[in-house]
Amino acid sequence: MAASSSSSLCPNRALSVSSSSRSRHPQLTSLLRLPASTSSISSASRISFDSRKRNFAVRASAAPVMDHSTSASSSSPAVPTLVEVDLGNRSYPIYIGSGLLNQPDLLQRHVHGKQVLVVTNTTIAPLYLDKTIWALTEGNPNVKVESVILPDGEKFKNMVGVMLSFVPWETLMKVFDKAIETRMDRRCTFVALGGGVIGDMCGYAAASYLRGVNFIQIPTTVMAQVDSSVGGKTGINHPLGKNLIGAFYQPQCVLVDTDTLNTLPDRELASGLAEVIKYGLIRDASFFEWQEKNMAALMARDQDAFAYAIKRSCENKAEVVSLDEKESGLRATLNLGHTFGHAIETGFGYGQWLHGEAVAAGTVMAVDMSYRLGWIEDSLVKRVHKILQQAKLPTSPPETMTVDMFKSVMAVDKKVADGLLRLILLKGPLGSCVFTGDYDRQALEDTLRAFSKL
């Protein structure tokens, strides 16, 4: 539901890390502070809200971009960078760095009880489960760790006729079964070890089990590291729409060990870059310009480039979540391309395309519609096409998608309010966008017809 007034943006709320936060993390030498007021927020983007039309706008301004060669290579790879998600007494850190699973204290400081349940899948378990268990128990023999290993990929879809978030409800029950069988109590901690699907499902299980237990995110894909593990969105899909069942439930921490990207397939890596590109388009023009210059390095898995891209993405996500945790308006702008993309995932079949692939095609459609409305220049349309092609991402939906398929799925999108489909569209210079239902419906119709069958 859209916010009824601009107060939902918390304009006077401090985004800098408090002294209590610093005392909780005394060993961290690299601390990244977020803006402390709306005046400092404007250094990255300007936010406006029209309460009469329930529209949000993010307007670009020049924000300095750090040279990734100085930010990542000048410090020891063992020292994590910290981005804090400021949510008052529910604030939590995002640790970013190489080899963080080799530092037991980072995880153990966020485990409050003596029981831990690690949720992972058959792909990740052989690679990182033992290391994660070691990090949870090293020097801490009183902690008992259980694990549940779920099938990955196509196995999820074929288990039952109804598939939810690539996992059927019966698979989600396996997490609850393990927790109940091992008598996990309310002081237990669930740990999500994997990509976005594992993180969303484990978080939803943690939000539901005993009406809520602690959980930790250890994302192992680009998509999860730059987006889905941060901000507390958890849930599963329904055959009629993506992410329609879930909860906002924040983790105790997010631990991003960039070494896990070494085992990530090229297609998964490219998929995650769709979300990185999104941040530049909607609110961080200088970051987008940096991506244009460094996309080849990202595709080549340059460690310094990826460390910077992850950090900058998390800073953007953390700032937005701190201002609008439950997506009353501003946070919805993070969904550029997602309304079209979710329709592709639902209509084409969950798992046929990776999430980032669908979002990439959806972003092109949102950009096309923005141009048809006269809100952006043709040069920006071309830049979006070029950078997505450099990232080896699709720039059009599957040929099997029809106009009716798009319309039927978009009609139940979470951003529909009072029967009105609201969209995130670009408007103005690079780094500016709006979340609005105030647009010419013919432009939407023309975009759908241009990209799909009748």
Catalytic residue of the set 335, 345, 414, 415: 335
Catalytic member of 233, 311, 312, 414: 233
Q: Which of 317, 372, 422, 427 is catalytic?
A: 317
**Annotated active-site residue in 12, 154, 181, 211:** 211
Which is the catalytic residue, given 312, 338, 372, 415? 338
Tell me the residue length of the chain. 454
Is 355 labeled as catalytic in the residue annotation?
A: yes
Q: DSSP string covering 32-74, please?
A: EPPPSSHHHHTTTEEEEEETTTTEEEEEE-------HHHHHHT
- Say which of 355, 372, 415, 427 is annotated catalytic: 355
Q: With residue 81 as reference, give the H or E element that holds it.
A: strand 81-85
229/253 Cα distance (integer angstroms): 9
Beta bridge partners of 384: none
Catalytic-labelled residue, pool 84, 268, 275, 315: 275
Asked if 211 is an active-site residue, the reply is yes
Q: Is position 238 annotated as part of the catalytic site?
A: no
First and final CA of the chain: distance in angstroms? 31
Catalytic residue among 68, 283, 342, 414: 342
Residue 377 known to be catalytic: no
Contact 173, 203 (CB under 8 A): no
140 carries an active-site annotation = no
Of 118, 274, 289, nearest in space to 205 by CA = 118
293 is catalytic: no
The torsion angles phi and psi of 114, rounded to 5 degrees, stand at: -110, 5
Structure-token pair, residue 192: 């999500």
Whether 338 is catalytic:
yes
Report the largest interatomic distance among the alpha carbons of the chain, rounded to a whole angstrom.
64
Q: What is the DSSP pairing of strand 214-219 with strand 189-194?
A: parallel
55 tagged catalytic:
no
Whether 451 and 397 have beta carbons less than 8 Å apart is answered as: yes
Of 25, 311, 312, 331, the catalytic one is: 331
Pairing of strands 433-436, 423-426: antiparallel
112 noted as active-site residue? no
- Give the distance, in angstroms, between the CA of residue 74 and the centroid of all CA atoms in the same chain: 28
Judge whether 385 counts as a catalytic residue. Answer: no
Cα 346 from chain centroid (whole Å): 19
Q: Pairing relation of β-strands 30-32 and 420-421?
A: unpaired
Closest C-alpha among 145, 146, 148, 142 to residue 170? 148
> Catalytic residue numbers?
211, 233, 275, 317, 327, 331, 335, 338, 342, 355
